[in-house]
Amino acid sequence: MRVTRLSWVLAIAAAAGASVIRTSELSLPYNGFKVFRVKTHARPSAVLEKLSNINFEQWNNDANSHVDIVLAPDQLLAFAELGLEFDIMHEDLGVSIAAESVRSPLWKRQAGDPSWFDSYHDYQDHIQYLQSLHDLFLNNSELISSGFSYENRSLQGIHLWGAGGPGKPAVLYHGTVHAREWISTATTEYLTYKLVTEYNAGDEDTRFVLDKYDFYIIPIVNPDGFVYTQTTQRLWRKNRQPGPNGSDCYGRDINRNWEFAWDANPLGASTNPCSQTYKGERPSDTPENQGLDKLVRQLRDGAGIKLYIDWHSYGQYILSPFGYKETLYAPELGKWTKAAQMASDAIRDSSNDLTTYTFGPSGATLYTTTGAAPDHVYSIGRAEFSYTIELRDIGKYGFVLPPELIRPTVGEQWPGQKALWSLLDEEFFDGEGPA
């Protein structure tokens, strides 16, 4: 299918800017573009064959029930003539991006102010926000870096601990692996905010978990791509590393670049530098991945990794290994699935939204991925629990989630994570306790 031309047109049309969210520059290239959810009715090949004669950008990889596509104005008539069944996700993507990029005037530069989660923010404000969270928790935190990006930005994070000091088993969170998934940045920051403020307030559950585990939280592991989505092309996914052998296409998919099972399945990633899932020339050939993997191995060789979560959007999934082979199931799959189910129940029951998360092994539940973080951090990092969590929504907005949905999305993850943390040392299926 001809999906690369549209991305190329957008890249040329977008203008470079400073490190702030420039609403007009981000939205202008997408003015008049529409996003459709095309129904496939379990016959994706037939639908994709019809779509192959038009230019589009595909948002989702699992096309069994639907395919989400972005269309330029000059493709709309040809699309209508295909006679496909669809819903409209964005009537005008440019308008949606402009609305998404407006920042709340209420936020004060204080980490304890929850209005931070009323809008999206530029990269430098995120760096300052981590500093502010550290300032709120000076005796129980440190700012860390998990290496540097291709453009030499630090992979900035924060390390939290409770009574007795650092050195306990690790909970490791990565956010914004894919640059356009802004809600994952907000989610990892919200969980950090809640851990700090609830611990300071004496919340019993929070004190229990932080006294037992060290948390390592890196909200933006793809800073170059993230900045690019804020200055140039809102829907950019990969890092900003130049392509090989003089290729005009930029970027590698950091979540197809991990060493474990990097080349295990040809369906799991792309060898085309222009593809959204380009895996690189060799395992861990992105500087971002090298730094992230170094920390994984350090934690493994220290007190160990209790829980790893790679935060993404969209689709509302909780996915465990393995991603690289649909029929391969880890020995821990039973406890992973039970824990995911209990986290999903806690999320659903936390509000009247009744948000539902689907859970299961990644390859069998969603689609094949090679060189993916949860497989690597489980197999090489020896994490006891390892997940990808795909956040809201299930297709009304996709990657361009309105600011008014930030708080509901991040807020429901707090009870979900509390449920998950409570199970990390549970003896599963023994007839006692919650699992």
Active-site annotation holder among 181, 390, 404, 412: 390
Q: By three-state DSSP, how is residue 335 classified?
A: helix
Amino acid present at 257: N
Encoding tokens for residue 236? 């950019």
All residues at 6 or more sequence positions from 434 whose CB lies less than 8 Å from its CB, including other chains = 342, 422, 423, 426
CA angle 324, 329, 335 (to 5 degrees): 125
**81: Cβ contacts below 8 Å, ≥ 6 apart:** none
**93 contacts 33 by C-beta, under 8 angstroms:** yes
The kind and range of the H/E element at 188 are helix 182-200
Query: 279: closest CA among 297, 265, 296?
Result: 265
Q: Taking the CB of residue 163, how many other CB atoms lie within 10 A of it?
A: 10
The C-alpha atoms of residue 406 and residue 187 are separated, in whole angstroms, by 8
State how far the Cα of 33 lies from the Cα of 173, in Å rounded to an integer.
Answer: 34
Helix, coil or strand: residue 155? strand
Considering Cα of 272, then 274, then 279, then 284, what sign does the dihedral take?
positive
CB 185 within 8 A of CB 176: yes
Dihedrals phi, psi of 202, to nearest 5 degrees? 85, 15
81 part of the active site: no
Q: How many CA atoms lie less than 13 Å away from 113 in the CB half-sphere?
A: 13
Distances in Å between the alpha carbon of 176 and those of 65, 221, 288? Answer: 26, 6, 12
Sign of the torsion angle spanned by Cα atoms 167, 331, 178, 180: negative
For 30, the 3-state DSSP assignment is helix
> If you ran DSSP here, which 8-state letter would residue 221 be given?
S
What are the residues whose beta carbons fall under 8 Å from the beta carbon of 187, sequence distance 6 or more? 175, 311, 391, 409, 410, 413
| H or E segment and range at residue 75 | none
Residues marked as catalytic: 390
